[in-house]
Structure 1
Amino acid sequence: MTAAAAVAQVARAAKDAQPRLARLHREAKDAVLLAMAEALVDRADEIVAANARDLEAADAAGIAAGLRDRLALDVERVGSIAQQLRDAAALPDPVGEVMRGSVLSNGLELRQVRVPMGVIGMVYESRPNVTVDAAGLALKSGNAVVLRGGSAALHSNSALIAVLRSVLAAHDLPEDLIAGIDEHGREGVDALMRARGLVDVLIPRGGAGLIRRVVENSLVPVIETGTGTTHVLVDADADLDQAEAIVVNSKTQRVGVCNALETLLVHRDIAERALPRLAAPLAAAGVRLHADDAARAILAAAGTGAEVVPATEEDWDLEYLALELAVKVVEDLDEALEHIRAHSSGHTESILTRDLRSQQRFLSEVDSAVVMANASTRFSDGGEFGFGAEIGISTQKLHARGPMGLTELTSAKWLVVGQGQVRP
């Protein structure tokens, strides 16, 4: 059987299985999620052993440190992944929620209610946690899911999916509600993108190349998640104690994720005080700074010990996913806003300031999915927003924008109830 035929068969099975899930009440779905969490913990050693095989191959291939961190699992991380399922179980069920309604003058009763999308296709890279997050959120929102997590995480994803499917079977639900197609490689992705009519929506999550390939080639409707060329602006009136903590956290708390800081903008009026203060802890964390001329001059005079290299035009558009940071001194808020408009991927930006007028301008004028003031960009996350987990962060403007949780995995339909009315 060809990869295209095999993926079509998987998608058809998921589509046929989904109505069973759509009929379940919240209590039944939550019971499955909690059982999945328990099974993951119980079988953590098995999952970690499978992950070790992927890590061995990744190390042999010379994978970057940030990407390796995203791939790696240990017992503690498996426990955290399981907790995401418990968190999702604790959330309200969006399915059946009445969004709006009315009674027309002719007596027709109208209700618009949330319904599952049907079958969700996920294409992502080297992130085993996404396998469980996507499956759990899909299940809670009444959707089947077809997962393509990439060859780098083949053994990890296979082990995780096997655990989740075993729980479905134990609860007398079709295992085809959760399916993986990693073994079919790039041909599998191509087949998934052509599965219009079987897959209702495709969500790519990963690097710019992966996302662009899916957006440009998919026949299935796509919700575009974005890379994170994320900015923090240290404004002229920033609290430098806060700024130091926020900048270091945004950049170093976890580097291989899309909400990690990639470009630091510093207002000229505070740059001589702020840059040396910020560079020291960044250097201690191993961060190399790609600085413009003005920033390099200030850092050289201050003797911070930071590794500083000249920034190129390409640096302003890079998602490093590593201990690298672009740094630019801006004349004022206007220049900062212009730089963000020119170089942001539309993911997350934050301003650090005590000036409420600057704060309001930044929050109003920056056109990104998540815009912050005086907070780390690492909070741009579905779990942190209280969604239980996230299936991705959408940087597009149709259907969903920002961290996507349960609600964003639903569509809507109108229910119309009459008593024999006909249209005159």
Structure 2
Amino acid sequence: MEKLFQDVKRASKTLSALTDEQRNSILLDVAEAIVAQQDTLLEANAKDLEHMDVKNPLYDRLQLTPQRLEGIAADMRNVTKLPSPLGHNSHQRTLPNGLRLHRVTVPFGVIGIIYEARPNVTFDVFALCFKSGNACVLKGGRDADDSNRAAVALIHEVLKRHNIDENTVSLLPATHEATAEMLNAVGYIDLCIPRGGRKLIDFVRDNARIPVIETGAGVVNTYFDKGGDLQKGQAIILNAKTRRVSVCNALDCLIIHQKRLADLPQLVAPMAEKQVTLFADSMAYNQLKGHYPDTLLMPATDDSFGTEFMDYKLAIRTVASIDEALAHIDLYGSGHSESIITEDEAAARLFQQKVDAACVYWNAPTSFTDGAQFGLGAEIGISTQKFGPRGPMGLDEICTYKWIIEGEGQTRN
């Protein structure tokens, strides 16, 4: 494993010689290869899907389709259209002694990514890392190992055609031992980004000896205020919950003002068709009883709140004020994405000011928390921490900087 890390580190040193045009050309070739070799990629993905129950909500996250591969290729092409994040002079000044200071953006070097059953991440991470001059070490999960290996083989094939060191991207074995090696790769991996559930992120943070940016885990709430528009709310809540239930920006808890409880049955009615199970507190449960399928309506328990369901399940909490909604979010939210539905601008501004999360929405679903949707081309993860990057992380967030100092022979007293 150390030899692999050494090879990646060495490859990272060669990337600075490439121009942005060269990087873009290679990424466009990879995007073209994704579409041209989709049969190979889908065949590998089918092997992974054989081992997962189709009823598992994570099945959707694991599955590749021709349409999704087209989308992955399109995201990679979008990355090439973005300006290079490298070489930007973000701060410059001349000191009284005549020294000229410049703060210039540069790559981290080698970025390690640990992720679960998400084969699209392999391509997204490569695109962002390569565009920003970083090499990457990938550690996928067992569920997607065949898919990941096919993806990396395709990338290596394109890199070889361009005479680029294929160690620019390396895939580790899908084992716990490989994870441990990665988290202890001091001197080889400059930054580690885990993408997955709470258990994975906690394990990485607690065991890593290399720098870590926490991403991914999302306990997401949406507050339907007393001034909320019913038609807007119905569409926003349905999209946030059911667009893709296995992703981190999916809605987990609907908070509703008690003055709007009479509208709750209509607000959640479309979710019955999607077979969404509701875990409602006593006031909401009584309002929904007889107006929502009995088999899909359950009394909420203490565990219903603060849970990232990643499934067709939704908790409902009734509050008497916006302050009570804010307190609920403060207690149960994970700092990922939160939304308010209201026509009251004062309430919306208060919500935006008080909610402590990476992304705060007003009259829009949390499903938009995504690097591609934010115009970043793709994302390497969604940071829920406050130190360093926060929210969807694109090219700028995986660069650091160095100071360039120019003088005329000055010496310090």
2:281 maps to which residue? 292
Structure 1 residues 163-182: aligned runs within 5 Å: 163-182=154-173
> What is the one-letter code of the residue matched to 2:31?
A
Q: What secondary structure, in the 3-state scheme, does the structure 1 residue paired with 2:215 have?
A: coil
- Structure 1 residue 64 displacement after superposition: 5.0
Q: Which runs of 5+ in 2 are unaligned?
A: none
* 2:48 pairs with 1:54: yes
- Structure 1 residue 303 displacement after superposition: 2.0
The 2-side partners of 1:371 and 1:23 are apart by 40
Residues 260, 150 of structure 1: alpha-carbon distance in 2 compared, 3 angstrom cutoff: same
- Structure 1 residue 226 displacement after superposition: 3.3
1:316 maps to which residue? 305
Q: 2:384·2:391 contact (CA, 8 Å) conserved in 1? A: yes
* 2:25 pairs with 1:37: no
> What is the one-letter code of the residue matched to 2:305?
W
> What is the one-letter code of the residue matched to 2:253?
T
1:3 maps to which residue? none
The 1-side partners of 2:228 and 2:27 are apart by 44
The runs of at least 4 aligned residues of structure 1 exceeding 6 Å deviation read none
The 2-side partners of 1:241 and 1:232 are apart by 15
* 2:112 pairs with 1:121: yes
2:143 maps to which residue? 152
What root-mean-square deviation, in Å, do the aligned CA atoms of Structure 1 and Structure 2 show?
1.0
Q: Which runs of 5+ in 1 are unaligned?
A: 1-5
Q: 1:147·1:181 contact (CA, 8 Å) conserved in 2? A: yes
Q: 2:238·2:268 contact (CA, 8 Å) conserved in 1? A: no
> What is the one-letter code of the residue matched to 1:10?
L
Structure 1 residues 158-237: aligned runs within 5 Å: 158-183=149-174, 185-237=175-227
Q: 1:348·1:371 contact (CA, 8 Å) conserved in 2? A: yes
* Structure 1 length-normalised TM: 0.96
2:21 to 18, 21, 27: 27
The 2-side partners of 1:88 and 1:66 are apart by 29
* 2:229 pairs with 1:239: yes
Identity of aligned residues (%): 43
Structure 1 residues 257-336: aligned runs within 5 Å: 257-273=247-263, 275-300=264-289, 303-305=291-293, 307-336=296-325
Q: 2:38·2:66 contact (CA, 8 Å) conserved in 1? A: yes
What whole-Å deviation, never above 9, does each CA across 1:112-153 have from its counterpart, x for those lacking one? 011000000000000000010011100001000000111110
Q: What secondary structure, in the 3-state scheme, does the structure 2 residue paired with 1:65 have?
A: coil
Q: 2:205·2:214 contact (CA, 8 Å) conserved in 1? A: yes
- Structure 1 residue 365 displacement after superposition: 0.5
The 2-side partners of 1:64 and 1:175 are apart by 37
1:134 maps to which residue? 125
What whole-Å deviation, never above 9, does each CA across 1:320-353 have from its counterpart, x for those lacking one? 1110000111111010000000000110000000
The 2-side partners of 1:86 and 1:171 are apart by 18
* Structure 2 length-normalised TM: 0.98
1:421 to 395, 410, 413: 410
Q: What secondary structure, in the 3-state scheme, does the structure 1 residue paired with 2:266 have?
A: helix
> What is the one-letter code of the residue matched to 2:8?
A
What whole-Å deviation, never above 9, does each CA across 1:25-44 have from its counterpart, x for those lacking one? 11011111101101111110
1:109 to 100, 103, 121: 100
